[in-house]
Amino acid sequence: MTTTLNQKDILKRGAIWAFILVELAFFAIVGDAMSVSSKAFLSVDNMLLLLKQSAPIGIIALGMTIVMINGNIDLSVGATFALAAVVLLDSMTWPFMQALGDWAIPLAWGFALLTGVVLGAINGLIVWKTGVDAFIVTLASMLGFRGLVFMYNGEQPTSHLNWTLVDFAEAQFLGLHTATWFLLGAALILWLLMTKTVHGRNAYAIGNNREAAVNAGIRVGPHFVLNFMLIGFLAALSAVVFYSESGSVNPNDGMLYELWAITAVVLGGTKLAGGYGSIISTLGGVIAIQLLRKGLGHIGADTQTVNLVIGLILIGVLILDRQLNRKGQEELKI
Amino acid sequence: MAQLNKTEIGAFLAKQGILIAFAAFMIGFALANQRFIELDNVFGVIRSSAILGVMALGVTFVVIGGNLDLSVGSMMSFSTIVVLDLHDKLGPGLAILAMFALTLALGAFIGFLVGYLKLNSLIVTLGMLSAIHGLTLTWSGGKNMDIADKSGTWFSVFGQERVMGIPVPILIFALLAVALSLLLSKTPFGRKVYAVGGNGQAATFSGIPRARVVFLTYIVSAFCVATAGLLQASRSLGSQNTVGQGMELEVLAAVILGGASLMGGAGTVFKTVIGVLILGFIQNGLLLVGLDFYVQYIVTWIIIILAVWLDVAAKRGRLWSPIA
Amino acid sequence: MTDQTPVLRLEGIVKTFPGVRALDGVAFSVLPGEVHALMGENGAGKSTLMKVLGGIHAPDEGQIFIAEEPTVMTSPMQAKAKGVVFIHQELSLADELSVAENIFLGELPLKGLGRVDWPKLYADTDAILKTLNVGFDARTRVGDLSIANQQMVEIGRALTVDPRAVIFDEPTASLTDAEKVVLFDVIADLQSRGVGIVYISHRMEEIFKITDRISVLRDGQYRGTLNTAETDEDEVTQLMIGRSLDLSRNESHHEMGDVALEVRGLGCGALYQDVSFSVRRGEVLGFYGLVGAGRTEIAETIFGLRTPSAGQILLNGEEVRIASPIDALGHGISLVPEDRKSQGLVLGMNCRDNMTLPQVDDLTAGPFVSDGAEIAIFDQYRDKLDIRTPGWRQIVGNLSGGNQQKIVIGKWLSMRPEVLIVDEPTRGIDVGSKSEIHNLIRELAAQGFAVIVISSEMPEVLHVSDRIVAMFSGRVMREFTADEVTEDNLIQAISGITDDKVA
Q: Is A328 on the interface with B (CB under 8 A)?
A: no
Interface test with A, best of B204, B294, B309 (most A CBs within 10 A): B294
Residue of chain B with shortest Cα separation from A211: B323
Residue of chain C with shortest Cα separation from B261: C348
Q: Which chains touch C (3 or more CB pairs under 8 A)?
A: A, B
Q: Which residues in chain C touch residue A332, judged by CB atoms under 8 angstroms apart?
A: 300, 305-306
Interface test with B, best of A304, A305, A327 (most B CBs within 10 A): A304
Give Cα C24 to chain centroid, integer Å.
22
Q: Is A192 on the interface with B (CB under 8 A)?
A: no
Residues C306 and C200 in one domain: no
Residues C382 and C233 in one domain: no
Q: Which residues in chain B touch residue A148, judged by CB atoms under 8 angstroms apart?
A: 294, 298
Domain that holds residue C209: 8-241
Q: Which residues in chain B touch residue A263, judged by CB atoms under 8 angstroms apart?
A: 126-127, 130
What's the pLDDT band for C501 if we cut at 50, 70, 90? Answer: very low
The whole-angstrom distance between A201's CA and the closest CA on chain C is 8
Q: Is C91 left (phi over 0), alpha (psi -120 to 50) or beta?
A: beta
Under 8 Å between Cβ of C221 and C25: yes
Give me the residues paired with residue C64 across strands. Answer: C10, C71
**pLDDT, average across residues A279-284:** 94
Q: Which chains touch B (3 or more CB pairs under 8 A)?
A: A, C
Q: Which residue type does A185 have?
A: G
Q: Is A32 on the interface with C (CB under 8 A)?
A: no
Q: Which residues make Cβ contacts (< 8 Å) with residue B91, sequence separation at least 6?
A: none
Predicted confidence (pLDDT) at residue C253 exceeds the cutoff of 70: no
Residues C172 and C308 in one domain: no
Residues C425 and C375 in one domain: yes
User: Residue by residue, what is the 3-state secondary structure of chain A?
Assistant: CCCCCCHHHHHHHHHHHHHHHHHHHHHHHHHHHHCCCCCCCCCHHHHHHHHHHHHHHHHHHHHHHHHHHCCCCCCCHHHHHHHHHHHHHHHCCCHHHHCCHHHHHHHHHHHHHHHHHHHHHHHHHHHHHHCCCHHHHHHHHHHHHHHHHHHHHCCCCEECCCHHHHHHHHCEECCEEHHHHHHHHHHHHHHHHHHHEHHHHHHHHHHHCHHHHHHCCCCHHHHHHHHHHHHHHHHHHHHHHHHHHHCEECCCCCCCHHHHHHHHHHHCCCCCCCCCCCHHHHHHHHHHHHHHHHHHHHCCCCHHHHHHHHHHHHHHHHHHHHHHCCCCCCCCCC
Give the pLDDT confidence of C70-116 residue by residue, as tens digits: 888 888 888 888 889 888 776 789 989 999 999 999 889 998 888 99
What sign results for the dihedral spanned by CA atoms A33, A34, A38, A42? Answer: negative
Task: Check CB contact under 8 Å for C96 and A329.
Answer: no
**pLDDT, average across residues C224-248:** 74
DSSP codes, C45-98: SHHHHHHHHTTSS--SEEEEEETTEEE----HHHHHHTTEEEE-SS----TTSB
Kindly state whether residue C112 falls inside one of the protein's structural domains: yes
Task: Check CB contact under 8 Å for C342 and B206.
Answer: no
Kindly state whether residue B251 falls inside one of the protein's structural domains: yes
The whole-angstrom distance between C326's CA and the closest CA on chain A is 12
Instruction: Give buried/exposed letters for C326-349 (b at 16+ CB in 10 A, else e).
Output: bebbebbbbbbbbbbeebbbbbbb
Task: Check CB contact under 8 Å for B182 and C343.
Answer: no
CA distance C348 to B227: 32
Interface test with C, best of B193, B205, B311, B312 (most C CBs within 10 A): B205
Residue B30 has what pLDDT? Answer: 85
Residue B10 has what pLDDT? Answer: 60
The whole-angstrom distance between B25's CA and the closest CA on chain C is 30
Q: Which residues in chain B touch residue C322, judged by CB atoms under 8 angstroms apart?
A: none
Q: Is A221 on the interface with B (CB under 8 A)?
A: yes
CATH number at residue C164: 3.40.50.300
Q: Is A323 on the interface with C (CB under 8 A)?
A: no
Q: Is C160 on the interface with A (CB under 8 A)?
A: no
Kindly state whether residue C428 falls inside one of the protein's structural domains: yes
Residues C290 and C353 in one domain: yes
- Which residue did the predictor score with more confidence, C497 or A274? A274
Given the cut 0.90, state whether the ipTM is greater than it: no
Q: Which residues make Cβ contacts (< 8 Å) with residue B32, sequence separation at least 6?
A: B285, B288, B289
Residue finishing a domain among C209, C241, C273? C241
Under 8 Å between Cβ of A231 and A74: yes
Task: Check CB contact under 8 Å for A132 and B132.
Answer: no
Kindly state whether residue C119 falls inside one of the protein's structural domains: yes
**Phi and psi dihedrals of A128, rounded to 5?**
-65, -55
Kindly state whether residue B319 falls inside one of the protein's structural domains: no
Predicted confidence (pLDDT) at residue C122 exceeds the cutoff of 90: yes
Residue of chain A with shortest Cα separation from C270: A330
Residue among C339, C370, C335, C367 nearest C352 (CA): C370
Residue A38 has what pLDDT? Answer: 63
Q: Which residues in chain A touch residue B200, judged by CB atoms under 8 angstroms apart?
A: 334
Output DSSP code: residue C359.
Answer: G
Residues C116 and C183 in one domain: yes
Kindly state whether residue C225 falls inside one of the protein's structural domains: yes
Residue C19 has what pLDDT? Answer: 60
Count the Cβ atoms, other than its own, within 10 Å of residue B168.
20
Q: How many CA atoms lie within 13 A of C461 on its CB side?
A: 30
What's the pLDDT band for B3 if we cut at 50, 70, 90? Answer: very low
Domain ranges of chain A: 41-317
Q: Of the candidates B187, B194, B265, which has its C-beta nearest C367's C-beta?
A: B187
Predicted confidence (pLDDT) at residue C254 exceeds the cutoff of 70: no
Task: Check CB contact under 8 Å for B300 and A220.
Answer: no
Q: Is A204 on the interface with C (CB under 8 A)?
A: yes
- Which residue did the predictor score with more confidence, A33 or C215? C215
Residue C502 has what pLDDT? Answer: 39
Under 8 Å between Cβ of A155 and A251: yes
CA distance C234 to C36: 18
**pLDDT, average across residues B75-98:** 94
The whole-angstrom distance between B304's CA and the closest CA on chain A is 6
Chain C residues at the B interface, defined by Cβ less than 8 Å, are 303, 305, 324-326, 328-329, 335, 337, 342-349, 353, 357-358, 360-361, 363-364, 367-369, 411
Residue finishing a domain among C241, C273, C291? C241
Residues C226 and C267 in one domain: no
Q: Is C306 on the interface with A (CB under 8 A)?
A: yes
The whole-angstrom distance between A142's CA and the closest CA on chain B is 8
Predicted confidence (pLDDT) at residue A234 exceeds the cutoff of 90: yes
Q: Which residue type does C2 have?
A: T
What's the pLDDT band for A118 if we cut at 50, 70, 90? Answer: very high
Q: Of the candidates A75, A214, A259, which has its C-beta nearest B129's C-beta?
A: A259
Under 8 Å between Cβ of C479 and C467: yes
Say how many residues make up chain C.
503
Count the Cβ atoms, other than its own, within 10 Å of residue C316.
15
Query: pTM to 2 decimals?
Result: 0.85
Q: Of the candidates B117, B131, B302, which has its C-beta nearest A308's C-beta?
A: B131
Residue of chain B with shortest Cα separation from A142: B301
Q: Is A292 on the interface with B (CB under 8 A)?
A: no
- Which residue did the predictor score with more confidence, A60 or B284? A60
Residue C158 has what pLDDT? Answer: 86
**pLDDT, average across residues C320-329:** 92
Contacts for B178-182 with beta carbons within 8 Å, 24 or more apart?
B180/B57, B180/B58, B180/B60, B180/B61, B180/B220, B180/B224, B180/B269, B181/B268, B181/B269, B181/B270, B182/C368
Residue of chain A with shortest Cα separation from C143: A6
Kindly state whether residue B71 falls inside one of the protein's structural domains: yes
Kindly state whether residue C406 falls inside one of the protein's structural domains: yes
Under 8 Å between Cβ of C72 and C125: no
Q: Which residues in chain A touch residue C96, judged by CB atoms under 8 angstroms apart?
A: 204, 208, 275-276
Residue C251 has what pLDDT? Answer: 60
Burial class (CB in 10 A: 0-12, 13-18, 19+), A131: buried
CATH number at residue B92: 1.10.3470
Interface test with A, best of B297, B310, B318 (most A CBs within 10 A): B297
**pLDDT, average across residues C435-439:** 82
CA distance B153 to B151: 6
Give Cα B73 to chain centroid, integer Å.
10
Domain that holds residue B178: 27-314
Q: Of the candidates A140, A151, A256, which has its C-beta nearest B294's C-beta?
A: A151
Kindly state whether residue B182 falls inside one of the protein's structural domains: yes
**Phi and psi dihedrals of C176, rounded to 5?**
-80, 170
Q: Of the candidates B130, B141, B262, which has its C-beta nearest A310's C-beta?
A: B130
- 3-state SS class at B24: helix
DSSP alpha helices (H): ranges in C414-451? 431-446
Domain A41-317 indexed as CATH 1.10.3470: yes
CA distance B105 to B84: 18
Residue C428 has what pLDDT? Answer: 66
Q: Is A218 on the interface with C (CB under 8 A)?
A: yes
- What percent of chain C is modeled with pLDDT above 70? 92
Give me the residues paired with residue C39 across strands. Answer: C216
Predicted confidence (pLDDT) at residue B197 exceeds the cutoff of 90: yes
Kindly state whether residue B118 falls inside one of the protein's structural domains: yes
Q: Of the candidates C77, C97, C269, which has its C-beta nearest A3's C-beta?
A: C97
Give the pLDDT confidence of C56-66 residue by residue, as tens digits: 888 888 899 98
Residues C157 and C228 in one domain: yes
Task: Check CB contact under 8 Å for B131 and A315.
Answer: yes
Q: How many CA atoms lie within 13 A of B296 on its CB side?
A: 19
Tell me the residue ranges of DSSP E strands in C88-234: 165-169, 196-200, 213-218, 221-227
Q: Of the candidates C107, C116, C268, which has its C-beta nearest A330's C-beta?
A: C268
Q: How many structural domains comprise chain C?
A: 2
Residue A1 has what pLDDT? Answer: 41
Residues C52 and C199 in one domain: yes
- 3-state SS class at C389: coil
Task: Check CB contact under 8 Å for C343 and B201.
Answer: yes
Predicted confidence (pLDDT) at residue C39 exceeds the cutoff of 60: yes
Give the pLDDT confidence of C9-28 residue by residue, as tens digits: 998 889 887 666 778 888 88
Give the pLDDT confidence of C459-476 residue by residue, as tens digits: 788 888 999 999 988 888
Under 8 Å between Cβ of C377 and C356: yes
Residue among A193, A258, A259, A254 nearest A226 (CA): A193
What sign results for the dihedral spanned by CA atoms C245, C248, C254, C256? Answer: positive
What's the pLDDT band for B135 if we cut at 50, 70, 90? Answer: very high
Q: How many CA atoms lie within 13 A of A72 on its CB side?
A: 35
Predicted confidence (pLDDT) at residue A6 exceeds the cutoff of 70: no
Residue C431 has what pLDDT? Answer: 60
Q: Is A129 on the interface with B (CB under 8 A)?
A: yes
Of A145-149, A211-215, B106-110, which range is least confident?
Answer: A211-215
